Amino acid sequence: MAERCAVIGVGQTKCASKRLDVSIAGLVREAAVGALEDAGLGFGDIDAVVIGKAPDMFEGVMMPELYLAPALGAVGKPLLRVHTAGSVGGSTALVAAHLVTAGIHQRVLTVAFEKQSDSDAMWALSVPQPFAAPLLAGAGGYFAPIIRAYIRRSGAPADIGMKVAVKDRLHALKNPYAHLHLPDISMKMVEDSVVIWDPLHYLESCPSSDGAAAMVLGSESAAAASEAATGKRPAWVHGMAMRSEPTMFAGRDQVNPQAGRDCAAEVYRQAGVSNPRSDFDCAEVYVPFSWYEPMWLENLGFCDEGQGWRLTDEGATSLDGGDIPWNCSGGVLSSNPIGASGMLRFLEVALQVRGEAGEHQVDGVRRALGQAYGGGSQFFSMWVLGAERP
Amino acid sequence: MTAAPTPRQGSRPVAVVSFAQAPNVRRDTAHNEVELLMPVITEVLGAVGITKDDLGFICSGSTDYLVGGPFSFVGALDAVGVWPPKSESHVEMDAAWALYEAWVRLQEDDVDTALVYGFGKSSMGDLGKILALQLDPYTMAPLWPDPVSLAALQARALLDRGLATERDFAEVAARSRRSALDNPKAQVAEDRTADELLGDDYVVAPLRRHSLPPLTDGAAAIVLAAGERAFELCERPAWITGIDHRVETHAVGARDLTASPSTAKAAEVAGVSAGPVEVAELHAAFAPQELILRRALGLSADPTGNGSTVVNPSGGPLAANALMAGGLIRIGEAAARIAGGTAGRVVAHATSGPVLQQNLVAVLEGA
């Protein structure tokens, strides 16, 4: 990286099934204004805007950034729209961060959103395409067989997924922005919910959410100015990377994709991380279906292959006494505004590093990992944030 | 060795070293997006003797709404074959903005080469209805204003202000179609005078048939290289000495449609006026828009081709208009003048959104 980059402002909306109180513009503006206020800035201080979201058919608006330009204070400025499937919230933040590290801009506003209630994501994912197998059961139908392959391969007990579902919903109770607040959540409640994609119970799946996330990313001088104005510490970017691989070809390992392993190796190299489980104080990882926690624990090198479920089983990833808490915010299992879900992972680690995570804060976070993935487990974006200037 | 010219933005010189495009046909029923892209990507990499394994970054531009399904870029990535995994990104914009993202990425010296591509098949749906869905979903889209009608409002505003005549529109079209005779990839190429074209019927007054772009299926790709790597790959790299893009408000009624302040601002930042502009490739999908862009860029207002700047020697969007690739093609065509040794300083322009809402301007120079 040529120039340093830091998160200097963070904003997010309350996630809900239907945010009927706001238009799409109102939703993104709520997050954007929050991030600007957090950074002690106004729209006039921003050099460029980078916005991301998942497929446009999720709202039924083609290239909505055009209509959103005034709501985001982008008129007269550069505006970029990123779309990299489910990883988009993360890659949008990375595109924005590179505008700073490349030395092009001082302060960049980055925003991601989804207003799922405006359309129907299940329909949008299931439009028949010529010569392609229909994905009639949405994302869960795609991932369930991969999860079954993981269980068979690792010999994991059947209740591991349910443990993740309970743990993340307990975390969500400490996050006022989370969509799902289920105070009575229990193993029995998850087990009693209907199986929608074997082996996934209803409560082992993410919800459909309306929501938006925003961050202001700044250069070293911008970070110093915001810290002086707000008294809030910046969260420094220590490493960032994206990796993609094809959806399918003979021999592709969809359970433990190479692109995810490569992406992690690259951000760890940049950040000087050799043992993620001990070097990180917490992580926010894209877990839309419960079993993806043990699968990503292995893919990200927090343990050896086949051992991820043991960390979950032992409670290592719990905010309540675990040594490496994952998804303290409640994660994607508790809030899933699809296009924003990756950015929420990136944003939540910024909150943790800045000591601003409130009730779900992990004590003394020095370094944390944010991860997002998308497509058929083929697009990955990650960043490592740290409290110290690199 | 010749040195790269110093860029106005960024710290590292980056150049277009290779450009390829598919034939811009009216309706390609034989190829899906991957099949459309594969020969283009093979050609663009092969021309500089590299393979996908040499690429440090990949970025594409496309829109799901042309395909009518989600994740159209995901399938298209199979045209590259990113295995082992690659650093890769995508914009839901014209691929000119994918080039911008790649240019930013190349400012950091861990990456030396990047592949940029874009694709769009307009033939698969009703473009008038599809592009109406690009408008404000609460106040405009429900009225289904189609892009030709919006461009006609813009043209009418030009006429009403006395800034152009219908003959000017015809002159732009006549010149573009004549230039396209030299472009084997163009779709509309012929030698007819403005007088003859003025005999066309109106499609939406005051726009006659010749002021509209042809519906096009197409794809294009560019290889960017930074620093010394550009000279290794290419005899005459087209150095991007300035590049910027700006957006205007979406509300068509709140804009002065006869001007393009976002183009003017981008041109100022990119440094268009800092030297002579020998060639300009302008992403003016409708003939009147060329006149607006000429003024915004400070080029001669004469649409007949007598000015000091050669505008759209490829024939431009009036001869071939592949959505989502058209802006990238302008950059590629402009760079080709440098690579071919026929120009030393050129300008490329790309646009996105209704009636020139968002604009990108790049200045490219030889060493």
Mean pLDDT for back-to-back runs of 10 residues, chain B (367 residues): 84 96 96 95 98 98 92 91 96 98 97 98 95 96 97 98 98 98 98 97 98 98 97 97 98 96 98 98 98 97 91 98 98 98 98 98 97
B1 in a structural domain? no
CB B12 within 8 A of CB B107: yes
Are residues B231 and B245 located together in one domain of the fold? no
A124 pLDDT more than 90: no
A126 in contact with B at a CB cutoff of 8 Å? no
Show the domain range for B103.
14-126+216-239
Distance CA B288, CA B171 (A): 10
Contact at CB, A80 and B97, closer than 8 angstroms: yes
The residue among A107, A166, A149 whose CA lies nearest residue A256 is A149
Backbone angles phi, psi at B172, to 5 degrees: -60, -45
Of B205, B239, B273, the position where a domain reaches its end is B239
Are residues B185 and B323 located together in one domain of the fold? yes
Report field, pTM of the whole predicted structure over 0.90: yes
The residue among A124, A118, A49 whose CA lies nearest residue B65 is A124
A114 in contact with B at a CB cutoff of 8 Å? no
Nearest C-alpha in A relative to B354: A66
The residue among A37, A28, A49 whose CA lies nearest residue A9 is A37
Contact at CB, B104 and A98, closer than 8 angstroms: yes
Q: Any idea where the domains of chain A sit in the sequence?
A: 6-121+208-230, 135-205+238-386
- The confidence score (pLDDT) of residue A108 equals 98
A1 pLDDT more than 60: no
Contact at CB, A55 and B81, closer than 8 angstroms: no
From B10, B87, B247, residue closest to A241, measured CB to CB: B87
B3 in a structural domain? no
Task: Note if the bond before B184 is cis, omega within 30 degrees.
Answer: no
Question: What are the beta bridge partners of residue B208?
Answer: B202
Choose the mutation target among B33, B86, B87, B92 for the interface with A, i.e. most A CBs under 10 Å.
Answer: B92
Cβ-based contacts of B358 with chain A (< 8 Å): 66, 69, 79
Number of domains composing chain B: 2
- The confidence score (pLDDT) of residue B306 equals 86
* Tens digit of each residue's pLDDT (9 = 90 or more) over A317-366: 999 999 999 999 999 999 999 999 999 999 999 999 999 999 999 999 99
Distance CA B250, CA B268 (A): 22
**Minimum distance, in Å, between the CA of residue A109 and any CA atom of chain B:** 15
A187 pLDDT more than 80: yes
Are residues B292 and B345 located together in one domain of the fold? yes
Are residues B205 and B275 located together in one domain of the fold? yes
From B82, B133, B141, residue closest to A245, measured CB to CB: B82
CA A191 to chain centroid, in Å, comes to 26
Nearest C-alpha in A relative to B67: A129
Contact at CB, A75 and B87, closer than 8 angstroms: no
**Minimum distance, in Å, between the CA of residue A152 and any CA atom of chain B:** 26
User: Which amino acid is present at A39?
Assistant: A
Query: What CATH number matches the domain at A6-121+208-230, 3.40.47.10, 3.30.10.20, 3.40.50.10490, 2.60.40.10?
Result: 3.40.47.10
Are residues B24 and B169 located together in one domain of the fold? no
- The confidence score (pLDDT) of residue A119 equals 86
Work out the pLDDT band at A107, boundaries 50, 70, 90.
Answer: very high
Nearest C-alpha in A relative to B66: A62
A66 in contact with B at a CB cutoff of 8 Å? yes
Contact at CB, B63 and A1, closer than 8 angstroms: no
From B32, B65, B105, residue closest to A56, measured CB to CB: B65
Angle, in degrees to the nearest 10, between helices A88-101 and B95-105: 60
B220 in a structural domain? yes
Nearest C-alpha in A relative to B360: A78
From B78, B90, B244, residue closest to A246, measured CB to CB: B78
A21 pLDDT more than 60: yes
Backbone angles phi, psi at A245, to 5 degrees: -140, 165
The residue among B304, B42, B33, B117 whose CA lies nearest residue B193 is B304
B6 in a structural domain? no
Are residues B202 and B268 located together in one domain of the fold? yes
**Minimum distance, in Å, between the CA of residue B307 and any CA atom of chain A:** 29
Residues 6 or more apart in contact with residue A363 via CB below 8 angstroms: none
The helix (run of H) or strand (run of E) holding residue B363 is strand B358-365
Per-residue tokens: B96: 């000119």
A132 in contact with B at a CB cutoff of 8 Å? yes
Topology annotation, domain A135-205+238-386 = Peroxisomal Thiolase; Chain A, domain 1 (3.40.47)
Choose the mutation target among A244, A254, A266 for the interface with B, i.e. most B CBs under 10 Å.
Answer: A244
A2 pLDDT more than 70: yes
Are residues B71 and B29 located together in one domain of the fold? yes
**Burial class of A130 by CB neighbour count within 10 A (0 to 12, 13 to 18, 19+):** exposed
* Tens digit of each residue's pLDDT (9 = 90 or more) over A221-277: 999 999 999 999 999 999 999 999 998 888 899 999 999 999 999 999 999 999 999
**Minimum distance, in Å, between the CA of residue B60 and any CA atom of chain A:** 10
Size of interface A-B (CB pairs under 8 A): 181
Mean pLDDT of chain A: 96
Q: Do domains A6-121+208-230 and A135-205+238-386 have the same CATH topology?
A: yes
Contact at CB, A259 and B90, closer than 8 angstroms: no
- The confidence score (pLDDT) of residue A50 equals 98
Cβ-based contacts of B32 with chain A (< 8 Å): 130-131
- The confidence score (pLDDT) of residue A141 equals 87
B353 in a structural domain? yes
- The confidence score (pLDDT) of residue A123 equals 79
B5 in a structural domain? no
Q: What's the N-to-C CA distance of chain B in angstroms?
A: 10
The residue among B206, B175, B281, B313 whose CA lies nearest residue B294 is B281
Are residues B193 and B306 located together in one domain of the fold? yes
Are residues B328 and B229 located together in one domain of the fold? no
Per-residue tokens: B114: 């990047």
- The confidence score (pLDDT) of residue A136 equals 62
Of B224, B239, B254, the position where a domain reaches its end is B239
Rg (CA), chain B: 19
What 3-state DSSP class applies to A200?
Answer: strand
Concatenated DSSP letters of A349-372: HHHHHHT--GGGPPTT--EEEEEE
Are residues B205 and B273 located together in one domain of the fold? yes
**Burial class of A42 by CB neighbour count within 10 A (0 to 12, 13 to 18, 19+):** exposed
Are residues B118 and B182 located together in one domain of the fold? no
Nearest C-alpha in A relative to B77: A246
Choose the mutation target among B8, B67, B74 for the interface with A, i.e. most A CBs under 10 Å.
Answer: B74
* Tens digit of each residue's pLDDT (9 = 90 or more) over A8-20: 999 999 999 999 9
User: Which amino acid is present at B215?
Assistant: L
CA dihedral sign, ordered B251, B257, B263, B268: negative
Distance CA A319, CA A306 (A): 23
Contact at CB, A124 and B81, closer than 8 angstroms: no
Cβ-based contacts of B352 with chain A (< 8 Å): 63, 66
- The confidence score (pLDDT) of residue A135 equals 63
Distance CA A342, CA A336 (A): 9
CB A124 within 8 A of CB A134: no
Nearest C-alpha in B relative to A72: B249
A35 in contact with B at a CB cutoff of 8 Å? no
Distance CA B307, CA B310 (A): 7
CB A289 within 8 A of CB A206: yes
Cβ-based contacts of B63 with chain A (< 8 Å): 56, 62-63
Q: Beta A379-386 vs A235-244: how paired, if at all?
A: antiparallel
Contact at CB, A127 and B85, closer than 8 angstroms: no
Q: What is the CATH number of the domain that holds B201?
A: 3.40.47.10
- The confidence score (pLDDT) of residue A134 equals 67
CB B7 within 8 A of CB B363: no
Per-residue tokens: A55: 């497929």
Question: What are the beta bridge partners of residue A16?
Answer: A210
Higher-pLDDT residue of B297 and A126 is: B297
A375 in contact with B at a CB cutoff of 8 Å? yes
Task: Note if the bond before B206 is cis, omega within 30 degrees.
Answer: yes
